[in-house]
Every structure is written in C-alpha cells, then in structure tokens.
Amino acid sequence: MNILSRTTTIPVAAAFVLIAVCSPIALADEQASEVAKLFERWDRDDSPGVAVGISRNGKVIMTRGFGMANLEHDIPISGDTVFRMASVSKQFTAACVAILAEQGKLSVTDDIRKYIPEMPEFDTPVEVQHLLHHTSGYRDYLNLQGLAGLEGKYYYSAADTLDMLARQKNLNFDPGTDYLYSNSGYFLLGEIVARLSGKTLNEFATEQLFEPIGMSSAHFHDDTTRIVPKRADGYSRAKGGWYIDMTQLDLVGDGALYTSVYEMLRWNDAIIQSRLGKKSLLPDVIFDAPPLNDGSPTDYAYGLIIDEYRGLPTVGHGGSWVGFRTANLTFPDQGFSIVVLANLSSINPSKFCKNIADIYLKDVLEPESESTEENSARGNGRNRDQTEFTIGPVKLPEFVGVYGSAELNASYRISIDEDALVQTIVGMGAEPSVLKPTAADRFRGGWGAAFQFTRDVEGTIDGFDLNSGRVKRVRFDRLDDPATTPK
C-alpha cells in the first residue's frame, strides 16, 4: 500500500510536509541551498566572488552570483556578469579551426608553416593537430616572455609574440611524442584562423559560434579599450586587502574570451547535443583525443578535456589568468552542465564544479575513491627539483658573467652577493633571483627555474641550459662582450 494513501494514520500537516519534501520543487530547493552553502563565504558586499550556472537538458536550473563584480562601484555579481574566461577560451578557438577544416579550408595534418611561414622549420613538421592537442612541443610564450623579463606589468603585442616564437631554435620535444600544455599552440591557432578567414578571430567566432548559439556578450577581447557592459574586474589579495588584478595584453586564441555563465550554459548545451549526435553546429571531431605517436592515450581534444568523474563521462576545461578563475564541466549522458566563474584568484572553480555534480548527480555517481582528486590534477610543467647541495664559496666566481640567449633576445647577469650566486635580467626591472645549488653545475632559481651550466673542453663554463615550467632547454651562451646578445 502507498504510504500516502493511509490518510487515517497520518495527520494532514505531517502528510503535507512529507509531500513537500518528496516533491521535485522541494528537492530542487534543497539542492540549490546546498550549492549556495558552497559559496556562502563570498556572498557579501566587500569581496569579489563567483557566478554559478547549472542546466539540465538545455533548461537553466540556476544562475546566481555571490559577491561583487566591482568593489569600487558596489556592483554585485549576477548570472549575466561578464568574466574573462582565461583558458576556457581555447575550446572556442579550436571549434573555429574545426569549422575551417569542415569547410575544406585546411587539414589538421597540414604543416603550420603553410599558414605561418615565418615559424622555424624543424626536422619533424609541426602540424595543426599538434597545436590543438598540446603535442607540438612549442615552448609556452608566457613562460618565454617572463624569462625575457616581460612580466605582468609589461605590454607586448601579438607581433612581438610571433617574433619570439619564430626565434625558437628548438622545441620542448619532437611533435607528437609527448604532451605538455602550451599557450603558444592556441595563440598560433588564432593566427591561423585570422589568416585563413581574412577576419579577426573574434569576427570569425562571432559569425560562426557566438551569434548562432545566442551568446550576445561573448567576444575575444582583442582591443583592451573596448567597453564591455556588465564586466567583472579581476582581483587578488595581498596584505590583508584586495587589489585589482587585470591584464593589458590583447592577445587572443589561448585566452581573452569574455562571456557570462548564462551564455556558457548555452555553449555547454551545444557541446552536449553535438556529443550525443543531435546537432551539427559543432563538428563531431572536436571530441577526438588522438594518441601520441607511440600509441599512448591522451585526454585533450580541441580545447576540451575528455575525462570522467566518478564513473560518468565528462567534457570540460578550466582557466586561470590574472584575477580570474573559470571552469565549465558537462556530463553529456546526463544532459547536465555546470559553469563556475570567479573574479578572485584564490578559488578553484574546477573543484566546485565537481562539488555541484556531487549534489545533483549523487544518485548516478559511483562511490568516491581516494584517487579521484589525484587523478583530476593536471601539472603545469613547473620544475620541482628541491634538492639542496653545497658549493664552496671559492668555486662561485667561475660562474660569474653575462650570458645571452638569441631565442629570448635577453641577457642574464650572474654575480655574487653574500656568498651566493644571484641572477638578474640585463636592462629589465625584474627582482634579482638567488641561485641555490642542487648538484654540480646545477642551480635552482626563482619560479622553479633550473640552470644547468655547461663547460668547454678545457673545463671552463661556457653557458647554461635553462628549464622553467613549460619551457625546456633554452640556451644561454657566455658573452665575451656583455653588450651583445648572440644571434
């Protein structure tokens, strides 16, 4: 017998409560409350915060803001607040490439020099598909510019970045043999789209993606003077307070998309429908994650990470740049989509996407294992050599000198300060970095950079190879004339 039919044994008030608790509306309210608790620490008027969007089967079930989009003008975050998307932008650049391939205007197996002939020629050609899947071996331009002394306070243009990449004499590895995330690949893809289409990446994406999907505020921000209605400012925290953390760079392709959680839900619905073969807006190929040359599997496909969470297939990506942290995560088989966008740098939206999935999909998720969080981590390529090694002060002078890199168009001065080697970038305002020895002729510098000094046949130090993050084996030669940089 249905328990609700036993009206003679259940008081009317109790029956009403039972019906309310079991109803879809009550369940939705309970789930929304659980989501709100995840972000309640930012639900205030003196802190930046988060925008959250959730949809199921194309129907939006939540868009809500927590905290402030702009602290100076007391503007709260809402579902249509526009955020800088950081690396979540990559999937849009990749979709533009896939559309051009579908139109027969390029092949993903083409040598990229067919479209960008100024790029260096290597023994193994770098193909378009290598850029798409982070298997090109191209050094990350953000790391390269940082190593040249062009940190966040410096401006450099797309032309400057192309010139930097064209100067690279080596790759991190042969194309197709390994995976290492590289913003350079997607910057170059944006350039290919522009050169092939005769339009800017923003114009092409607007025509082919944003307008058809109904993403009216979405755009690649290739003009920093452009006014963006409802834009959130990015923030970071220091010395107990907030400061504005934005960028003056206008490079696109690897990042710089602006949009809202509401519009990202529309995009994720397009991803879900295409994944299930129900719509043709996005080419099916964008879900293919090709293996490496040796057959090793990868999980990166056209700016999307093809993965699973607690037994359910997922498609998504995260982003991190200046004061913005972003993530979108879809569960295609469940028609379920989550977007979490933050304008503060101390938050992990990818983790919160999974927390939200735990709330809404708990009936179909497999039990959580100890390895779930570990498997979700993706390294950024930073060197982790923490070994300590002692080198006598009497040996330090042999490392002193000026070393130049033609690839970076930069010179480093190595000097001694208080019985330690110190590295500075000649002509730049970057802070000096103390070099700590980790082995014979090997030192660790700032930001995890590893210096491997080399010697000539007579045993004299003639230069060093530099590894730092997503950049491997950049060569610095010792300069006889400190005023020059090797060509």
Is residue 144 included in any domain, yes or no? no
Crossing angle of helices 12-22 and 24-38, in 10° steps, is: 60
H or E element in which residue 143 lies: helix 141-147
| Residue at a domain's end among 376, 401, 432 | 376
Is residue 199 included in any domain, yes or no? yes
DSSP states of 375-417: HH----------------GGGGGGG-EEEEETTTTEEEEEEES
Q: Are residues 417 and 462 in the same domain?
A: yes
Q: What's the rounded mean pLDDT across residues 252-278?
A: 94
Is residue 272 included in any domain, yes or no? yes
Q: Are residues 20 and 132 in the same domain?
A: no
Cα separation, 175 vs 113, in Å, equals 14
- More confidently predicted of 447 and 176: 176
Q: Are residues 364 and 408 in the same domain?
A: no
Tokens linked to 345? 């740098």
pLDDT at position 388 is 59
Confidence of residue 483 (pLDDT cuts 50, 70, 90): low
H or E element in which residue 194 lies: helix 183-197
Q: Are residues 372 and 472 in the same domain?
A: no
Q: Are residues 470 and 354 in the same domain?
A: no
Least confident of 109-113, 176-180, 343-347, 483-487: 483-487
Domain carrying residue 413: 393-478
Q: What is the mean pLDDT of the chain?
A: 90
pLDDT tens digits for 210-254? 999 999 999 999 999 999 999 999 999 988 899 999 999 999 999
Confidence of residue 370 (pLDDT cuts 50, 70, 90): low
- Work out how many domains the chain is built from and give that number: 3
CATH of the domain at 128: 3.40.710.10
Q: Are residues 326 and 195 in the same domain?
A: yes
Cα separation, 112 vs 108, in Å, equals 9
Q: What's the rounded mean pLDDT across residues 20-33?
A: 72
Q: Are residues 345 and 255 in the same domain?
A: yes
For the chain, percent of residues with pLDDT exceeding 90: 79
Least confident of 299-308, 344-353, 432-441: 432-441
CATH of the domain at 445: 2.40.128.50
Crossing angle of helices 183-197 and 90-102, in 10° steps, is: 40
Is residue 348 included in any domain, yes or no? yes
Q: Are residues 277 and 421 in the same domain?
A: no
pLDDT tens digits for 276-321? 888 778 888 899 899 999 999 999 999 999 999 999 999 999 999 9
pLDDT tens digits for 186-206? 999 999 999 999 999 999 999
Cα separation, 224 vs 206, in Å, equals 18
| Residue at a domain's end among 345, 376, 407 | 376
pLDDT at position 28 is 75
Is residue 66 included in any domain, yes or no? no
Q: Are residues 202 and 349 in the same domain?
A: yes
| Residue at a domain's end among 376, 407, 440 | 376
For 214, other C-beta atoms within 10 Å of its C-beta total 12
Is residue 65 included in any domain, yes or no? no
Q: Are residues 350 and 426 in the same domain?
A: no
pLDDT at position 447 is 76
Sheet with 50-56: strands ordered across: 59-66, 50-56, 336-342, 324-331, 312-321, 304-309, 300-301
Is residue 17 included in any domain, yes or no? yes
Quote the pTM value: 0.89
CA 263 to chain centroid, in Å, comes to: 19
Say yes or no to pLDDT of 387 above 70.
no
Q: Are residues 352 and 398 in the same domain?
A: no
CA 285 to chain centroid, in Å, comes to: 21
For 241, other C-beta atoms within 10 Å of its C-beta total 8
pLDDT at position 218 is 98
Q: Are residues 452 and 333 in the same domain?
A: no
Is residue 166 included in any domain, yes or no? no
